Amino acid sequence: GENVEQHPSTLSVQEGDSAVIKCTYSDSASNYFPWYKQELGKRPQLIIDIRSNVGEKKDQRIAVTLNKTAKHFSLHITETQPEDSAVYFCAPITGGGNKLTFGTGTQLKVEL
């Protein structure tokens, strides 16, 4: 089956620092790479996504970079704020485009 791994599993940063979370996948046919944020007690929500025809995408303080050759993509958060504290999941499409396979999640804590 598809293998999706995230690193690190937990990440603690000081407010204002940058955070980077990496997602490694095994399905070479994957062509859609989203990141979801799940705050405590809430549902997962899409924060940014990228398709395989581009290498980087930015949206204000958030960016995603893709390396299809190495089969990994990363979430970058700059100038972190306390409200960025949450669990982040990558969810590359797998199974011939049939489903999103969620990674193991990264607990990000932004400390004051």
Binding site for other proteins (CB under 8 A): 31-32, 34, 36, 42-46, 49, 51, 89, 91, 93, 95, 97-105
Nearer to other proteins, 49 or 63 (CB): 49
Least distance to other proteins, CB of residue 94, Å? 8
Nearer to other proteins, 19 or 44 (CB): 44
Least distance to other proteins, CB of residue 20, Å? 19
The tokens describing 17, both together, are: 């620092």
Least distance to other proteins, CB of residue 14, Å? 27
Nearer to other proteins, 59 or 79 (CB): 59
